[in-house]
Amino acid sequence: MSGRRALTRNQALVLEVLTRADEPLSAYAILDRLRDEGLRAPLQVYRALDKLLETGEVHRLDSLKAFVACSHPHDHPCTGLVAFAICESCARVFEFSDSAIEARFAAWAVEKAFLTKSTTLEISGICAACRSSADGSNPSD
C-alpha cells in the first residue's frame, strides 16, 4: 500500500464515526459521538481531523463547517480536483471529480499566472432521490 499509514487511536475513532455517518458532521458532533470512547475535548477531534485532512481521508465542507469521510477507496490519496454536491434535504454528500472542470480551472490559472494551492468546489441543492419524493422527506428513511 502507498498512502496508507497507521492511524492513532483518536484518528481511527474519528474516521470511523465519519465513515459510519451518512451526513457531514461538525467537529463537535463527532466529539459527542465519541464521549463513550473517552474523548472529552474539541482539540482531540480537531487534531485527528488535521491529520485525516492532510492525508485526504477526510474532507472539510467549508459551506457547512462540517467534515465527511472521503468516499474513494482510499488506500491511495484523493488526487486532483474534487467537488461536492450537498443535498439540502437529506444532507447526503456526493463527491465527484470532473477533468473538464479541472482543466478549465487550470486554464484560468495559467492565463492569470495564478499558482493554485487548493480548491473548494461545493454545490448545494436537492439530490435526485429527494426530488423524486415529492414531499422532500429523506428517501432512505
Partner DNA sequence: GCAATTAATGTAATAACATTACATCACTTT
Partner DNA sequence: AAAGTGATGTAATGTTATTACATTAATTGC
87 is in an annotated binding site: yes
- Under the binding rule (CB under 5 A), the answer on residue 87 touching Zn ion is yes
Burial class (CB in 10 A: 0-12, 13-18, 19+), 114: exposed
Q: Is 109 in the site for its own copies (CB under 8 A)?
A: yes
Question: Does 102 belong to an annotated binding site?
Answer: yes
Please report how close the Cβ of residue 44 comes to its own copies at its closest, in angstroms: 23
Conformation bin of residue 68: beta by default, left when phi > 0, alpha when psi is -120 to 50: beta
- What, of Zn ion, its own copies, DNA, none, does residue 16 touch, CB below 5 to 8 Å by kind? none
Query: Per CB under 8 A, which of residues 55..74 are in contact with its own copies?
Result: 62-63
Indicate the length of the chain as a whole number.
141
Q: Known binder of ligand: residue 127?
A: yes
Nearer to DNA, 39 or 130 (CB): 39
Rounded (10°) CA dihedral 97, 95, 81, 2: -100
Q: Which helix (H) or strand (E) holds 69?
A: strand 66-69
Give the torsion sign (CA, 123, 126, 127, 128): negative
Is 70 annotated in a binding site? The answer is: no
Taking CB within 5 to 8 Å according to partner kind, which of its own copies, Zn ion, DNA, none is near residue 74? none
Positions touching its own copies (CB under 8 A) are 62-63, 85, 87-88, 94, 96, 98, 100-101, 104-105, 108-109, 112-128, 131-132
